[in-house]
Structure formats: C-alpha cells, structure tokens
Amino acid sequence: MVNVLQIGNIGTELSKLVHEVSDHQTQIVIESEGKPVVAMIHYDYLVNLLEALEDAIDSKLLKQAVASNDEFFGFEQVISAHNIAHNVEVRLEDFAKV
C-alpha cells in the first residue's frame, strides 16, 4: 500500500510515518506541489530491490559478453592457461571443494 502526503504535513508526522513503514511495511510517497519527491520504504525491501537490480544488470552484461565473444573457453582451458602463465599447478579438483 502506498500513502501520498504533502511535504508540509511531514514535520509533525515523521515518527508516526517511520513506525508505519517499519511495522507495517507501508510505502509512503511525499509530494511537493503535487509532484513526488521522496519515498519511504522498508529497509529490507530496498536491499532486496537493489540486489535484484544488480542481478539483472549482471545478467545483461553476461549476455552481452557471451554474444560478443566468438570463442568459448572451458574452465579446464582457463585453469591450464593460468597455470602456464603463472608457473603454478592449480588443479580442477581444488575448485570442486568450494
């Protein structure tokens, strides 16, 4: 549920509004001259929203990277190239433990 308030009414109601958002997970939009300027949402909702946005961006970037890449390298090839470049012996089994 979204409540809309005018900015002039916020000062006396702030504590009540914070409790309303916190306890009931209400969403509040604060307007100034009829235009939305601020939103109050539950913190957990914000965290979940930002994580979902980050996941969507990562997914889009991955799709773009795959689409622009003409060649695919398997994990084994990457490990082998790493070992040669760094003169080390990382084994594929080391990653299976994670």
Segment 58-75, tens digit of pLDDT: 999 988 888 888 777 888
What fold, for 2-41?
A: YefM-like fold (3.40.1620)
Tokens of 51: 């994580």
Beta-bridge partners for 40: 28
Q: How many CB atoms lie within 10 A of CB 93?
A: 7
Helix/strand/coil for 67: helix
Segment 13-61, tens digit of pLDDT: 788 888 888 888 889 898 888 899 989 999 999 999 999 999 999 999 9
Q: How many H helices and E strands in the chain? A: 4, 3
Domains of the chain: which residue ranges?
A: 2-41, 45-96
d(CA 83, CA 91) in angstroms, rounded, equals 9
Q: Nearest Cα to 76, choosing from 86, 89, 96, 91?
A: 91
